[in-house]
């Protein structure tokens, strides 16, 4: 029993360290804008379509960093509160991270987009596994993380997956 808790704690620590991300987060710009006018409300549909375009690689990497930070924060909070990180907790956290990664990548098909989609898929699969830690402890997951880090580095963003 104690060995299992120690192993869980050690794996959680390794998992946190390996997936924590260093990001160059900028504070969101806030500006007071007047209420929308009728002219802006009648903007052409092309503007809406352009806004729905795939995000840039830099935006995707920053979104991946935010997803990683949210996962790390959730794991830390649960571990500090309960002293244990149960598979059910890991499953919930990984499922949430996968959703955040999917949202960050949008419709991108770039090298970065594909790398993030692969990690999101792996997180989803691990979330469905009985032992999420074991499901992520694979050479494929390690390679996917290294590939994402390299692709994001080219985009000017440091990630640590």
In the structure, what pLDDT confidence band is assigned to residue 75 with cuts at 50, 70 and 90?
A: very high
Query: Tokens 């504070």 correspond to what residue?
Result: 27
Q: Indicate if the pLDDT at residue 18 is higher than 80.
A: no
pTM: 0.69
- Nearest C-alpha neighbor of 144 from the set 76, 98, 90, 89: 98
Burial class (CB within 10 angstroms; exposed 0-12, middle 13-18, buried 19+) of 25: exposed
Q: Where are the domains of the chain?
A: 55-161
Q: Are 66 and 22 in contact (CB under 8 A)?
A: no
Q: Indicate if the pLDDT at residue 6 is higher than 70.
A: no
How confident is the model over 120-146, as pLDDT tens digits?
999 999 999 999 999 999 999 999 999
């Amino acid at each position: 029993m104690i060995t299992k808790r120690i192993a869980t704690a050690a794996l959680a620590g390794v998992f946190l360290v390996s997936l924590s991300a260093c990001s160059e987060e900028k504070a969101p710009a806030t500006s007071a804008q007047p209420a929308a006018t009728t002219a802006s409300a009648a903007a052409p549909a092309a503007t809406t379509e352009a806004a729905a375009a795939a995000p840039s690689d830099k935006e995707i990497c920053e979104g991946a960093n935010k997803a990683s930070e949210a996962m790390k924060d959730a794991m830390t909070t649960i571990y500090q509160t309960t002293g244990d990180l149960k598979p059910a907790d890991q499953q919930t956290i990984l499922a949430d991270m996968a959703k955040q990664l999917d949202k960050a990548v949008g419709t991108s098909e770039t090298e970065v987009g594909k790398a993030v989609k692969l990690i999101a898929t792996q997180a989803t699969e691990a979330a469905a596994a009985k032992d999420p830690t074991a499901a992520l402890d694979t050479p494929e997951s390690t390679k996917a993380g290294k590939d994402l880090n390299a692709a994001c580095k080219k985009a000017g963003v440091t990630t640590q997956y």
